Amino acid sequence: MTIAKPFAIGKFPVTFAQWDACVDGGGCDGYRPDDKGWGRGDRPVINIRWSEAKAYAAWLSAKTGLGYRLLSEAEREYIARAGTSTPYWCYQVHGNVWEWVEDCWTDNYDAAPLDGSAWTAEACYRRVLRGGSWGSDPPALRSASRTSYFPNLKDAYTGFRVARALEP
């Protein structure tokens, strides 16, 4: 597979401070997720549904005039591998929070897009999460680790990061 279009990603998952700026700016449906008493600030935002992650990206796009979005599953694995073929690589992409990506869940990659774009479907009942979380066992933290959840899931293990297209 080849990632067809250049893109930029957030160095870290979206934080509570960034999410709260969205709420304070009139976005994110005014939803302030529970921080489980751990504090907000620069900690990765948790308790976010897939649609709420999408709402944040839409708000950020409107605020900045740039096209922010969730990463595709292929892009997420690409940045997690960082040019290596090893299961783990240290680059702020393993073990903070499971990260929502744009793709619908599929059991295998047999018909996956070859250009790195998201695998979408009209009826998408489960979404992909990548990266493992602070509560994951080591095998879930490897570059290729993936799982699926219903898009209305929100818990203390799940957040997201954003990407945007770069002009060629």
Q: Where are the domains of the chain?
A: 7-165
| CA distances to 40, 76, 103, 144 from 30, in Å | 16, 28, 26, 34
Kindly state the tokens that stand for 144.
Answer: 């290729």
Which residues are CB-neighbours of 87 under 8 A, at least 6 positions away? 142, 143, 144
Domain 7-165, CATH homologous superfamily name and number = paralog of FGE (formylglycine-generating enzyme) (3.90.1580.10)
Q: Taking 80 as the threshold, does the pLDDT of residue 86 lie above it?
A: no
Mean of pLDDT over the chain = 92
- Burial bucket for residue 155 (CB in 10 Å: 0-12, 13-18, 19+): middle
**Is 168 in contact with 56 (CB distance < 8 Å)?**
no
Task: Classify the C-alpha dihedral 159-33-23-134 as positive or negative.
Answer: negative
Question: What would the mean pLDDT of 53-78 be, rounded to a whole number?
Answer: 96
Taking phi over 0 as left and psi of -120 to 50 as alpha, with beta for the rest, 54 belongs to alpha
Backbone angles phi, psi at 63, to 5 degrees: -70, -40
Q: Could you read off the pLDDT of 132-158 as tens digits, one per residue? A: 999 999 888 888 889 999 999 999 999
Q: Could you read off the pLDDT of 108-123 as tens digits, one per residue? A: 888 889 999 999 988 8
Radius of gyration of the chain (CA): 15
